[in-house]
A and B are shown apart, each in its own frame.
Chain A
């Protein structure tokens, strides 16, 4: 393209400068520093700094606590992503079956997006409080099981996952509604004309057409489950009981700011980065593949 305002050669640089500056100073530089720090062992007050190569990483991957944190995170993320997306997709399909009132439902679901993970966490902590929670009461009446997430690790993990799914529900539903609206009716009708039942139509036609939305939501929910859920965990369980809900980001926070092991924490940062980068690239790959297929 040609510049719409020829003669202003320097102006565009000034226009992008603030954004680039913020990104460089507050995002890129600290990240590079984190990578470098992960190869050193520094005394807490910065007095002594020794290069130790991949020692931090070796320690990390041989630490049972890290393995436990890793597993807990994946288990938790899987619950949130699969459970959350399945539920949201189901709800979105229900909403789009009806032509009237679609806009109403979109609004009716979106409000949960305004709730922060911390708020979601505190409300669910109340609901399932071992002493006074309504949820605890209901579960006890229905199954006789006394749920106590402050001492039962699996209850804690399930609860945190439940709160997260609830938190992200509105967002996921709205995106699926938008995505479903973009699926051309003709394809679905063509399939029905060919004699395919609704279930088959859904799986063979609709769902594949939704894959860019799904890929996008998988990415967003992964970021949520890995990072944004921090507030929820800090409020509900603080990583307990016994580390059952100490997911990677929470362990990172504790190692860095409470146990004051900066370099060890930086190594964890780098590992997290690799996970995020892989997920981002995967999402990119899926969307471009789909886009090509569509054309």
Chain B
């Protein structure tokens, strides 16, 4: 009798031990093919780590995910890990709801080399040199162009425009040759404005782009930003630049051959190359000659860890993060989505495999960001609390300038006033 009882206890104990998995809930905004890639990575992790189960939950767009996270946090029902877009970085830092990632190894008594992550990405998500969120899906913007169109207009398909003057010159040739009616469009137009400031090493906001303290005002309209707006307005009025909507809307115009050039995120590369029926070329973003050099800004998202996790949960999260940093996993993610590999080891492996030789377009954005400065706040990109709002204001300013409703300088000034008000509101809300 006793023996049976002992055996029973052992069996029950073993079973419940096996079932004592630590669940890690992970909210993300990856859809389409990115979702499939993510789910495979998670499934592989779960299979190789039987005591942990990461549950990925697709919670909508980046905005929806952040809103849900905020509401859930206030209600005490937030997940362990959440993916937030780069625009929400400052909000997350100020949230008081987050455990900065750099503290995790210390708490668990482990060591971790943060240098293994690609430097510009690392710096983007760091505060005072410490990493707050885990780099996961990073991208930047680059120039896409239609090589076939270039040939038709008598332009060298291997010499895309380097400066905005050349964009204008090439644009005129393309229109005169009857190849297209409009030449270039911008994906995420508000982001392209940020990119132009950053690649020329100009600050977007004070307090070192919001990195040494909360930004109190935006730096525009200053001489350079007005120059950007005036150039773009002139291009728009000549018909060279066409404002075709927000986010990814302009991709359609490019892939269908209605325009010849596109400024867009590198994360669209796969999609564009698959849909386009012409030879796609890529290059660095166009510059203004005679201006300083900075770097293009990192976009995409990163992974944040909620405060208040138990030791076991934290350990589980950390195992998952370490897994994501493994070169094979990193490479799989890059190849199936177009986002940058986040670790240097993955980068080396990709190079060894001659991946970039086979697919040079995948290298362009990466090269752009690695060849730029990494030591100035302007080159690292701006961090703003009310970022979404301010991007709205810039977009409106662009629409008004392009349609001629306001002069470029006036449009920028109007947007700046609203932006500064928003920054004030944000600080007030935090009691600062």
Q: Which residues of A contact B (CB under 8 A)?
A: 41-48, 50, 52, 59, 65, 150-151, 241-243, 257-261, 263-264
Contact = CB atoms under 8 A, between A and B. Distances in A.
13 contacts: A41-B428, A42-B429, A43-B429, A45-B95, A45-B97, A47-B95, A48-B431, A65-B418, A150-B245, A151-B243, A257-B64, A257-B67, A261-B386
Contact of A43 (B94, B388, B418): B94
Contacts of A242: 395-396, 399-400
Contacts of B418: 65
B91 interface: yes
B70 interface: yes
A260 B96 contact: no
Contacts of A52: 428
A241 B430 CA distance: 32
A46 B430 contact: no
Q: Please give me the 10 A-B residue pairs with the lowest Cβ-Cβ distance, nearest first.
A: A45-B95, A46-B74, A242-B399, A48-B431, A47-B96, A259-B389, A43-B429, A257-B67, A258-B63, A45-B97
Contact of B430 (A43, A65, A261): A43
Contact of A258 (B388, B429, B430): B388
Contacts of A48: 429-431
Contact of B91 (A65, A241, A260): A260
Contacts of A263: 429
B382 interface: no
Contacts of B403: 151
Interface in B401-423: 403, 418
B266 to A, nearest CB: 25
B73 interface: yes
Given A258-B388, A259-B388, A260-B91, A45 B429 contact: no
Interface residues of B, number: 29
Contact of B70 (A41, A44, A243): A44
Contacts of A241: 399
A44 B431 contact: no
Contacts of B64: 257
B94 A259 contact: no
Interface string B85-98: 00000010011110
Interface in B9-29: none
A171 to B, nearest CB: 32
A44 B399 contact: no
A242 B431 CA distance: 32
Interface string B375-397: 00000000000101100100110
Nearest to B393: A65
B308 to A, nearest CB: 13
Contacts of A264: 425
B259 interface: no
Contacts of A42: 429
B431 A259 contact: no
Contacts of B431: 43, 48, 50
Nearest to B249: A150
Nearest to B414: A64
A203 to B, nearest CB: 43
B243 A45 contact: no
Contacts of A41: 425, 428-429
B117 to A, nearest CB: 27
B66 interface: yes
Given A151-B243, A257-B63, A257-B67, A45 B388 contact: no
Nearest to A52: B428
B149 to A, nearest CB: 19
Contact of A260 (B67, B97, B399, B428): B67
Interface in B48-72: 63-64, 66-67, 70
A143 to B, nearest CB: 21
A257 B67 CA distance: 6
Contact of B96 (A45, A258, A259, A261): A45
- Residue from A50, A243, A257, A260 whose CB has the most chain B CB atoms within 10 Å: A260
Nearest to B78: A45
Nearest to A258: B63
- Residue from A44, A47, A48, A242 whose CB has the most chain B CB atoms within 10 Å: A44
Given A150-B245, A259-B389, A46 B73 contact: yes
Nearest to B256: A131
B67 A45 contact: no
A179 to B, nearest CB: 43
Contacts of B97: 45, 47
Contact of A45 (B63, B70, B396, B400): B70
Given A260-B91, A261-B389, 16 more contacts: A42-B429, A43-B95, A43-B96, A43-B429, A45-B70, A47-B97, A48-B431, A52-B428, A151-B399, A242-B395, A242-B396, A242-B399, A257-B63, A257-B67, A260-B388, A261-B386
A150 B403 CA distance: 13
A264 B94 CA distance: 19
Given A259-B389, A260-B67, A260-B91, A44 B429 contact: yes
Contacts of A151: 243, 399, 403
B91 A44 contact: yes
A243 to B, nearest CB: 7
Contacts of A150: 245
A42 B431 CA distance: 9
A61 B395 CA distance: 23
Nearest to B75: A46
Given A150-B245, A259-B386, A45 B74 contact: yes
A45 B73 contact: yes
A261 B392 CA distance: 14
Interface string B137-162: 00000000000000000000000000
Nearest to B97: A45
A260 B73 contact: no
B80 to A, nearest CB: 16
